[in-house]
Structure 1
Amino acid sequence: MSETDKLRIDKWLWFARVVKTRTAAAGLCEDGSVRLNGQRVEQAHKSVRIGDVLTVGLNGRVKVLKVLALAERRGPYSVAQHLYEDQSPEPPRVELPSPVAERDEGAGRPTKAERRAIDRFRDGEG
């Protein structure tokens, strides 16, 4: 196995455009937000190889990335997309509550009495 068959995790995360800076990638590793094949990574110098699976906790979401290729430099996003296969689970759908107070379409602006009723409703007075 040669030296070109592996790459530092922080470099790979930066090359794949998962994070904006290599310092941020190293910070993720040191925080324990990165897992390599299920094992927590606490050092940015750990090596990643083709076929490895990285789990990255980023911005309140979990990204699961399978390494498909290693790069020699950071390129555009279109090239970075070919470095990995995104296996992340779909984010849960958030059901928005239906509007509490609806007005008929074309009813115009509320009258003064209606505005006061709306204010009482919002303040919890009824």
Structure 2
Amino acid sequence: MRLVKSRSQASAACRGGHVRVNGTPAKPAQPVGRGDEVRIWQHGFHRIVEVVTPLAKRVSAPIAATALIDHSPPPPPKEIIASIPRRDRGAGRPTKRERRQLDRLKHQQEGPDL
């Protein structure tokens, strides 16, 4: 599957626990087959794809895009993304109260459990 630009980025995402194949954490060289569901946490959003045709060797991105079906939810509108509060760089660690507020906000954005 070619969901990220380079192999090193893909293996880093796998090691970081951001990639799941059929609901289980994936290793960098895990094989995928027809009908497998691959979920990747990328740029703050979940991307969900289904494998249509497994590829035997590395191919270009346009060809790889034809080998999968994208079931990802649409990204939120830019107005919502812009309204998300961000901590100032160098502001230190959040207090206990701020941490609870951040957790509440994250759970509201995520919606149903993925």
TM-score calculated relative to the size of structure 1: 0.57
Q: Which residue of 2 aligns with 1:33?
A: 18
For structure 1, which segment, 54-63 or 72-81, has the greater mean C-alpha deviation from structure 2 after superposition? 72-81
Aligned pairs for 1:6-85 (under 5 A) are 12=1, 16=2, 18-41=3-26, 43-85=27-69
Structure 2, gaps ≥5 residues long: 83-114
Larger Rg: 1
* TM-score, normalising length: structure 2: 0.62
- Taking structure 1 as reference, are residues 45 and 78 closer, same or farther at Cα in structure 2, changes over 3 Å only? closer
Q: How does 1:84-103 map to 2 (within 5 A)?
A: 84-95=68-79
Cα root mean square deviation, aligned: 1.9
> Taking CA–CA contacts closer than 8 Å with sequence separation of 6 or more, which of the two structures ends up with the larger relative contact order?
1
In structure 2, give the amino acid aligned to 1:95: E
Q: Name the CA shift for 1:57/1:68 in 2 (closer, same or farther; >3 Å).
A: same
Cα offset, 1:63, TM superposition: 0.5
Instruction: State the secondary structure of the residue aligned to 2:66.
Output: helix
Amino acid aligned to 1:59: H
Runs of 4+ with deviation above 6 angstroms: none
Q: Which amino acid aligns with 2:36?
A: D
Structure 1 vs Structure 2: percent identity of aligned residues? 28
User: Alignment length, in residue pairs?
Assistant: 81
